[in-house]
Amino acid sequence: MPFGIPILVLGDSHYDKRERPFYRTWTRETIEEWRRGDYHYNIYVRIAGVFGGEWPTQERRDEVYNSIIFYNYVQESAGTGAGQSPTNEMYQNAASAFGEILKLCKPGLVLVLGNRLWNAISKEITPPMKRGPAIALADGRIRPSLLYERNDGATLLFGIHHPSCRGGWPYEAWTPWVQAACKKAVEVT
């Protein structure tokens, strides 16, 4: 574990211009297509970059993706193009599967990508989820976290802006937050 803790990176949902039906191995195949260079998905490069604060080399990308779990919360296509949001029903339908992933994978940190997903997850906090410790930077800025408690430990959830958000996404600006969240996750899990 190069980050000191098992990490699950939580994406929002899939969309696919090819309009193929959702299937069980979609996420894994999408990432493998990107790693082979079949498709150019900047989101996956930015995710790898946020852990080191710089544009990642191919070697670094492979290191990151061999060290984390990537999972999309909504387990169905949200549409055929970027900017299409999952429905409230899609988010509600995804909650139990996400709970199963947390129990099965036991990550120390879940890095939640995007305000929309963060708001959907933190909208109704009920056990085993509760408010977690604040994540703070040296300059005094703080952001909230959530804590998912299991019988055998806990998982810290922390949200950052989505890597494909409009207006640009300075991954290096989010690196200190991710590092602080990793450090806090080590302390609380």
Tell me, what's the pLDDT at 1? Answer: 54
Domain 7-188 of CATH type 3.40.50: no
Cα–Cα dist 60/52, whole Å: 9
For 135-143, the CB contacts below 8 A with 24+ separation are 135/177, 135/180, 135/181, 135/184, 136/180, 137/176, 137/177, 137/180, 143/177
Give me the residues paired with residue 157 across strands. Answer: 110, 146
Give me the residues paired with residue 112 across strands. Answer: 10, 159
Cα–Cα dist 151/168, whole Å: 40
Cα–Cα dist 50/150, whole Å: 28
What is the distance in angstroms between the CA of the first residue and the CA of the last residue of the chain? 15
Rounded average pLDDT per 10-residue block, the chain, 189 residues: 84 66 64 61 80 85 86 75 76 89 94 93 87 97 96 94 77 91 93
Tell me, what's the pLDDT at 127? Answer: 86
Tell me, what's the pLDDT at 23? Answer: 57
